[in-house]
Structure 1
C-alpha cells in the first residue's frame, strides 16, 4: 500500500515544471562532478606515469586535497552568499565558470594547472550547492519536500556508477580516436571525458538560465563553520552512547574509504589496468552500495540492526585486506562490489538508527556534524594516505621462483582494512543488544530468514506477548483489550503485569513506586525489578506457557533496559545480563510497543504521580528513545504502534499482527492474575 503512494508522490513532484528543470540540471551536474573526479585523478596519474612511484602517489593525493580543502575553509562564506544574492544568477554563472575551467584543463595539459583548476572548480561548487539547496523548498510544497529530497539524493549518488561506466567507455573511445585521428595523437585519453564534463556544466547553465521561478533571496540558510559544527556536535553525541558508537563506526568506515579513494588509481595501474579499469573499479563501489542498501537488509532482516552495523564494517575491513593482497584485477573488481555492499548496509543502518535515536530538534545538527566530520576525516586520510604510499615506495619480495610485489598502495589499503576491522569490532561490542547470543548462530538463522533465540529449545506450547511503553502510553488499556479479545476467541489467557503479580512482587512494587522512596539507588532499583521478574516468570509465566496458555504481560525485560538502562544511565549490558539470568532467557514471541511522546502520555495520568512518573521529562524522553531503538534492532519481534491514534484503531492493528502468530484456540479455564488488584495507570 505504501509503495504506490510513494510513486504517485514522486511523479507529482516531477510534474512540477520548475522543480523538474532544476532536478534535471542537478542530475547533469552530479554526473559531471563524478566524471570530474575520475578524469582529474586519472589525468594526474597519467601525467606522472613515467615518474617514480612516490611522485605518482603524491600527484594523485594532491588532487584529492585540492578538491576537499575549499569546502573546509570557505563553506560558511558560500552559505552566506546564497542567502544574499540572486540564486538563479549565482548558479548560472557558477556553471559557466565550471565549464570554462574544466574545458581549459586538457588544453593546458599540466599538473600544476590541474591543481589550480581543481581548487577553482571546488570553490565555485561551494556557491552552487547552497544556492540549489535553498531553492528547492521554494519550488515545491511542504508535502512534496520529502519526495524532492529523495530524488535529489538519488541523482547525487546514483549518478556515480553511470559516470564510472561513461568514463570507462570514453577512455576506450579516446584511445581509439588517438589512433584514428592523427592530430589527436598527443592528447591524453582522459581529455575526452573532460570535454564531456565541461559540456555537462554548459547544459546545466542553460537549464538554470531558463528557470524563472527562483526567488532572488530568501534569507533562511545559516551555515556555521565546519569546525564549529564538529565542536557543537560532539557535545551532543558524547552524551548518547548509541549515537556515539554509530558516529565512531561511520567515521571509521569513512577513513577506510578515504584510504581506498586516495590510492585506487595507482593500485589499478599496478595491477596492469588503465583508465577504463579505474572507472570500472570506481563504479563497482557504488554498484555494491546499491546492492547492499536494497538487498543486504532484506537478506538479513532478522538480524539485529545494531549487530549488522558492526558486522558490515568488520567484513568491509576484511574484504579491503583481501583487496590489498590480491593481484588479480578481475578478483579485485568482485571484491570491490562486496566492499561497497558492506558500506551501503552500514551507511543506511547508521542513518536510520540516528534518525530513531535523535530527537527532531537535534537531528539536522547531528547529520550536519556527521557530514562535516566525515569531510575533515576524508581530507586528513587522503592527505596522509598518498604521502605514506610514496614514502613506502615499491618493493618486490622474492623467494626462489616465487615473487610478490608489495608497494605503498598495498600498505595503505592494508592499514585501511585493519582500521575498519578494529572500528567494526568496537562498534559491535559497543552496540551489541544480543549479549550472550552466539553471533555465528544468529547470523546463520538470519540467512535462513529466521531469528535465533536460545530459549526456543524449550519449545513451550504457549504464546507469550508483552506490552511495553512509557508512562500514560496506553499499554495497560491495550493489554486488557487484547486479553478480552483473545478470551472471546476461545483462548486460555493469563493477563499479568510487572511489577507486582506475585506476593513477593506486590511488596517490591510498593517500594519501587513509592514516591517517598527517593533514596533508592539505580543499581538497587534494577536488581529489585529483576527479582520481581524472576518470581513472575517462575510462578506465573512459565507454568501458563507450559500448559499452552496465551500470556499477556504489561511490561517485561525491555522496560528494565529502557528505564534502568537508558533512564538511569546504567550499563545496558549489565541490565541485560541480570535480567537474562532472572528470566532464564525467556523472550516474548511478540512485543507490542505503544509509542507515545512523554509530553502526551504524562498529561493523561490522573492523581498523584508515583516515583517513576514524577521523574523529569528528560528521563522519560531517554526511556522512549531506548524503546524505539530496541524495536529498530529487532523488527521481527516488535510491533510498534503510534500511541496517539484512537484506542480502537490501535487495538485493530495489534489484533491484525497477533492473527499471524496465534495457534488454533483450545477453550480452557481463564485466569487474570491482576483481577484482585486495584486498577493501575498505564
Structure 2
C-alpha cells in the first residue's frame, strides 16, 4: 500500500498524528500526577482518570454530530485545520500550567479529532481500491499502535534531558511532560503540513455511507452482526479482554512506577514495554510454539498475559515489572494476531467487514474505558501495609488493579478457550508438554503417515518453479537423498489425459466447478500412486504445484468458494499437507514474457484473472506463514536457490540410517 504516493502521505500524517496522540497521553497523565502530587495518591488517581475520560467522552457523545458536519466540509482542509488546532491546544497546556486548562484543552483537542477521523477515513476510501481495503486497515493499525513504543522512547529521552540539562537552557527547565507536549504539538503541525499535500479526490457515492459510520453505530452494528458462532464469540471476547487488561495497565502505570521509586522515565519504560511486547506478539507470537493448534495457542497466549500481570502486581521491582508487562503485551499481541486470522477464516464476507470495524472501534474504547476505571479502582483499594512477623509488604492500589486485571484476563482466557477449542480429545496440558518436548500430542496424518519430506513449489505463470524444482532436486541428490520430482496436473497416465482436457484451448467454455473437480481427480490419483508411496519409503518428494494452485486458480481466480475447494481437496488427498510450500511471487505480466511457447488455456486468461490468482497465493501464505517460504521471483535464480536451500536444510532427515551408528559401534578397535 505504501507504494502509492497519495496513500503514503496520508499514512505518514496518520503516523505522526498517532505519535502526537501517544505523546500527549503520556504527558497529560504525568502532568496530572505532578500537579496533584501534594494532594495524595487518591487525588492523583482521580486526575489521571479524568484526563483519560476526557479523551474518550467526545467520541462516545459527539461523534454522530461531528460525522454529519464533516460530510459537508472539504476533507483535506478539515484534516489540516483539525491537526493544527490540536497541535496548538497541546502547546498551550505547558504555557498555562494549570490543571483546569489541562482538562479543558484535552477535551477540546479530542472534540477537534472527531472531525479529523471521518475526513481521513473518507479520503482513504477514495485513495485505496476496494480489494486493498484490508491491507490499508492493517497499515493504519500499524501506524496507530506502532507509534506507541516510539512515543514512549521519546518520552524517556525527554525525561532524561529535563533532568540532566535542565539548568543549561530555560526551556529545558520544564518537566518531561512539558517537553513532551511541546514535541507533540510540533508533531501535529508537521502532520498537518504532510496531509495538506495529499491529493484528495472528489467525493464519491460511498462517502455518505462512510460518513455515517459513527462510533456508536459501529459498536451497535458489531453487537448485532458479530459473534454469530461460538468461535467468533470466543475470539472477540478474548481479543477485547486483552485490550481491557492493557488499558488497566496504562491507567495505573504512572502511579505504579512512582511507588517503585521511579518517575516519568519509569512510566515511559513500562508503557513502552507493554506496546513493544504487543507489536512483537503481533509479528511473531503465533510462531513461537508451532506444534500447538492456533485455537489453543490463542487461549494459551491470553493465559500467559494474565499470569505475567499477576506476578507483576506482586513484585516491587521496576525492571522485573517492565519485563513482565512486556510478556503480557507479547501474549496479547499474539492472541490478537491469531484471532484476526481465525476470524477472517470463520466469518462470511457479508459480516466480516462489519465485525472487523466493530473490533477495531471496540478495542480502542475498551483500552481507554479500562484506563479510566483502573485509577478509580486503585483509589478505592488504597494503600496498605501487610505485616507477617518482622516482614512487611506495602500493597498499593495500583498493585491491586494489576491483580484484578490478571484475574479478569485469566477468566476471559478460560471462557474464550472453551468457546474456541474444538480439539478436546487431547488436554491442553498434554499438548503443551508434547510441544515443549518437540513431539506431537496427537496423530497428525501430515506427519505420521510417511517418513519422507514433502516439498511443493507454487506460483504464477513463468515464476520459475520448474527451474527451482530442478536445482533443488540436484542439490538434494548430491547430498545423498532419495528424491522424487513430480508435477500437477499430469504426473500419472490418468493425469496426462486430464491435463490434456484442462489445458486445451478448445475447452475454454469449461465450467469452473468442473475444472476444480478435474484437478481434484488428478490430485487424488497423483497422491495415491506417486506421492504417498514415495513418502512412505522415506523419499523427498518435490512437486511442481499442489492443492494451493487449485485454491488460487479456481478459488480466487474463478471466484469459487475457497472452503468448498479446500474440503474437496482434503478428501481427495487424504489430508496430505506439504511440510513446506515455496511460493515464488512474480508480478502479473512478467511471467508470460519468460515463456517461449504458446499460452495454454489458463495462461491465456486476462491479467485480471492472474492478478486474483496472485492475491490468492499471497492470502494463503499470510494465513499459514510457518508453512510457507515466500520469495521474490524477480531476484536472480542463484539468490532464490540459496534462499530455498537455507529454508529446506533444517527440515532434512538424517541421510544416514538410525541404526548405522550401532553397526559401526560393533567394529573392533585395532590397537598397535
User: What is the TM-score normalised by the length of structure 1?
Assistant: 0.68
Matches within 5 A, 1:71-150: 71-139=59-127, 148-150=136-138
Question: Contact 2:520–2:568 at 8 Å: present in 1 too?
Answer: no
Q: How far apart are 1:362 and its partner, in Å? A: 1.5
Counterparts in 2 of 1:340 and 1:625: CA distance versus 1, 3 Å: farther
Q: 1:43 to 1:488 in 2, by over 3 A?
A: same
1:160 and 2:148 aligned: yes
Q: 1:592 to 1:172 in 2, by over 3 A?
A: closer
1:462: how far off? 8.9
Q: What SS does structure 2 have at the residue aligned with 1:300?
A: coil
Q: Could you report, residue by residue, the CA deviation over 1:15-68 in whole angstroms, capped at 9, with x for unpaired residues?
A: x2x434333322221211111111111111111122221111111111111111
How much does 1:170 deviate?
Answer: 0.5
What 5-or-longer segments of structure 1 have no aligned partner?
A: 1-8, 466-470, 494-544, 551-589, 605-619, 664-682
1:487–1:174 distance in 2 versus 1, CA, 3 Å: closer
Pairwise mapping of residues 533-682 of structure 1 onto structure 2 (< 5 A)?
Answer: none
Q: Residue 394 of structure 2 aligns to a residue in which SS?
A: strand
Q: Contact 2:149–2:275 at 8 Å: present in 1 too? A: yes
* Counterpart mapping for 1:355-366 below 5 A: 355-366=344-355
Secondary structure of 1:303 counterpart: coil
For the residues of structure 2 that align with 1:404 and 1:636, how far apart are their CA atoms? Answer: 56
Q: Which residue of 1 aligns with 2:316?
A: 327
Q: Distance in 2 between matches of 1:385 and 1:204?
A: 32
- Residue 213 of structure 1 is aligned with which of 199, 212, 215? 199
2:67 and 2:214 in contact (8 A); partners too: no
What SS does the corresponding residue of 2:176 show, helix, strand or coil? coil
Residue among 480, 485, 491 paired with 2:526: 485
Q: Distance in 1 between matches of 2:523 and 2:576?
A: 22
Tell me by how many angstroms 1:478 deviates: 4.5
**In the alignment, is residue 189 of structure 1 matched against residue 176 of structure 2?**
yes
User: Any conservation in 2 of the 1:80–1:223 contact (CA below 8 Å)?
Assistant: yes
Residue in 2 that maps onto 1:343: 332
Which whole-Å CA distance do the structure 2 matches of 1:449 and 1:594 have between them?
32
Residue 116 of structure 2: SS of its match in structure 1?
A: helix
| 1:192-341 matches, cutoff 5 A | 192-209=179-196, 211=197, 213-215=199-201, 217-218=203-204, 219-220=207-208, 221-341=210-330
User: What CA distance in whole angstroms lies between the structure 2 residues aligned with 1:168 and 1:67?
Assistant: 22
Unaligned runs of 5+ in 2: 455-511, 540-545, 584-600, 604-609, 621-626, 629-647, 654-672
Aligned-pair CA distance for 1:294? 2.2
Aligned to 2:30: 42
Q: How does 1:4-23 map to 2 (within 5 A)?
A: 10=2, 12-13=3-4, 16=5, 18-23=6-11
CA distance in 2, matches of 1:255, 1:100: 31
Alpha carbons of 1:202 and 1:228: their partners in 2 closer, same or farther (altered >3 Å)? Answer: closer
Instruction: Tell me how far apart the structure 2 counterparts of residues 310 and 287 of structure 1 sit (CA, whole Å).
Output: 21
CA displacement 1:532-586 (0-9 Å, x = unmatched) = xxxxxxxxxxxxx9x9899xxxxxxxxxxxxxxxxxxxxxxxxxxxxxxxxxxxx
User: Is residue 234–residue 420 contact of structure 2 (8 Å, CA) maintained in 1?
Assistant: yes
| CA distance in 2 between partners of 1:634 and 1:251 (Å) | 36
Q: Could you give the per-residue CA deviations for residues 136-180 of structure 1, whole angstroms, max 9, x where no partner exists?
A: 243455676665544433322221111110000001112234333
Asked whether the equivalents of residues 460 and 548 of structure 1 are also in contact (C-alpha less than 8 Å), the reply is: no
Q: CA deviation at 1:377?
A: 3.3
- Alpha-carbon distance in structure 2 between the residues aligned to 1:388 and 1:634: 53
Tell me how far 1:337 sits from its aligned partner. 1.4
Q: 1:400 to 1:624 in 2, by over 3 A?
A: farther
Corresponding residue of 2:372: 383
SS across alignment from 1:179:
coil
- Kindly state the Cα deviation for residue 420 of structure 1 after the two structures are TM-superposed: 0.4
Shift of 1:662: 13
How many Å separate the matches in 1 of 2:434 and 2:303? 19
TM superposition shift of 1:483: 4.3
Q: CA RMSD in A?
A: 4.5
TM-score using structure 2 length:
0.69
Task: Check conservation: 1:473, 1:594, Cα contact below 8 A.
Answer: no
Question: Which residue, out of 27, 50, 57, partners 1:62?
Answer: 50
Give the structure 2 partner of residue 531 of structure 1: none
1:310 Cα offset (Å): 1.0
Partner secondary structure for residue 403 of structure 1? strand
Task: Find the counterpart in structure 2 of residue 587 from structure 1.
Answer: none
Q: Report the alpha carbon displacement of residue 444 of structure 1 after superposing the two structures with TM.
A: 4.2
The 1:168–1:41 alpha-carbon spacing in structure 2 relative to 1, beyond 3 Å, is: same
- Aligned to 2:25, what secondary structure does the other structure show? helix
Separation in 2 of the partners of 1:279 and 1:216? 42
Structure 2 Cα separation of the partners of residues 297 and 20 of structure 1: 28
In the alignment, the residues of structure 2 paired with residue 26 and residue 600 of structure 1 have an alpha-carbon distance, to the nearest angstrom, of: 32
Question: CA offset at residue 401 of structure 1?
Answer: 2.7
Distance 1:121 1:628, change over 3 A: farther
State the alpha-carbon separation in 1 of the partners of residues 558 and 9 from structure 2. 48
Q: Which residue of 2 aligns with 1:616?
A: none
Question: Over residues 80-99 of structure 1, what are the superposed CA-to-partner deviations in whole Å (9 max), with x where a residue is unaligned?
Answer: 33322111111121122112
- In structure 2, how many angstroms separate the alpha carbons of the residues matched to 1:635 and 1:342? 28
Contact 1:85-1:216 at 8 Å conserved across structures: no
Deviation at 1:621, TM superposition (A): 10
SS in 1 for 2:34: helix
Distance of aligned partners of 1:410 and 1:280 in 2 relative to their CA distance in 1, 3 Å threshold: same
1:392 corresponding residue in structure 2: 381
Structure 2 CA distance for aligned equivalents of residues 254 and 461 of structure 1: 43
1:207 to partner: Cα distance: 2.6
Q: Higher mean Cα deviation, 351-360 or 268-277? A: 351-360
1:434–1:401 distance in 2 versus 1, CA, 3 Å = same
Contact kept, 8 Å, 1:353 with 1:629, in 2: the verdict is no
CA distance in 1, matches of 2:557, 2:279: 40
Q: How many angstroms apart in 2 are the aligned matches of 1:455 and 1:215?
A: 53
Question: In structure 2, the residue corresponding to 1:50 is in which secondary structure?
Answer: helix
| Contact 1:68 1:375 (8 Å CA) reproduced | no
CA displacement at 1:237 relative to structure 2: 2.5
SS at match of 1:232: helix
Give 1:259 deviation, angstroms.
Answer: 1.4
For each residue in 1:346-396, what CA deviation from the matched residue of structure 2 results, as whole angstroms up to 9, or x when unmatched? 111111111111222222211122233334434543333222211221111
Cα distance in 1 for partners of 2:563, 2:532 equals 37
Structure 1 residues 136 and 50: CA distance shift in structure 2, 3 A:
same
How far does residue 637 in structure 1 lie from its aligned partner after superposition?
A: 8.3
3-state SS, counterpart of residue 85 of structure 2 = helix
* Count of residue pairs brought into register by the alignment: 529
